Amino acid sequence: MTTPVGRGAFIVLEGCDRAGKSTQCRLLVEKLKDSNIPAELVVFPDRSTPIGQVISEYLKKEVQLPDQAIHLLFTANRWERAEEIKSKLEKGCTLIVDRYSYSGVAYSSAKEKKTSSFQWYKNPEEGLPKPDAVFYLNLEPEIIAERKGFGGERYESAQFQKDVAECFKKLNDGSWKIVDADKLIEDLTTELYSYVTEIVRLSKDKPLGVM
């Protein structure tokens, strides 16, 4: 491994269910490491923590929770990793993050449009480390529905995914890179990797932002 110069980059992949986020995150980390760029994968929800275990049971429909309560648990699950994220970035490790606060707000507000405001869902995310870049893997709902494994967990229905996609659109502050995800896995990795290495280069000397 080469000695890291400057901090690592905080890079988030977002998108609807089955867009290919986990596949791409894993491949991007491998590719960075192969080029001697220190990198690690971070996945939200992190189902390994006590909070994450409740989230996992909720997603598998084993427990019921009010929408506001599960929303706050998803956010808490990010807060419990926040210090570790900052420390790894400071040490020069680039983090490729599979979903973040944007998923949190998009999924919660997609199911609860009427009773709580968009801002209500954003509030508890305030103060978390802010990504240097967000890549949004864009895929039409019809193609999403065809992909393997769709339909098991909570939120996995075509109409709901359309509502989620609308919420993601509202959350984009104009800085996101929208990437067409309807292509071969390796082609998508090649495309994303060129953006990722550019962000790694640009983030080295920049202070880490705050949500």
Q: Which residues sit at the interface with Na ion, rule CB under 5 A?
A: 22
Q: Which one, 22 or 172, has the nearer CB to Na ion?
A: 22
Position closest to Na ion via CB: 22
Among Na ion, ligand T5A, none, the one that 118 touches (CB under a kind-dependent 5 to 8 A) is: none
What is the number of H-type helices and E-type strands within the chain?
8, 7
Q: Is the dihedral of CA 74, 22, 15, 158 positive or negative?
A: negative
Structure tokens at 211: 């949500």
CA–CA dist 96, 111 (Å, integer): 27
Among ligand T5A, Na ion, none, the one that 88 touches (CB under a kind-dependent 5 to 8 A) is: none
Among ligand T5A, Na ion, none, the one that 147 touches (CB under a kind-dependent 5 to 8 A) is: ligand T5A
Q: Which one, 7 or 85, has the nearer CB to ligand T5A?
A: 85
Among ligand T5A, Na ion, none, the one that 31 touches (CB under a kind-dependent 5 to 8 A) is: none
> Which of 5, 8, 9 lies closest to 133, judged by CA?
9
Amino acid at 37: I
Q: Which one, 23 or 116, has the nearer CB to ligand T5A?
A: 23
Residues lying near ligand T5A in the complex (CB under 6 A)? 15, 17-23, 44-45, 59, 74, 99, 103-104, 107, 147-149, 155, 185, 188
CA–CA dist 209, 37 (Å, integer): 21
Shortest spacing between CB 73 and Na ion, in angstroms: 18
CA–CA dist 208, 186 (Å, integer): 30
CA–CA dist 10, 209 (Å, integer): 10
Q: Which one, 17 or 132, has the nearer CB to ligand T5A?
A: 17
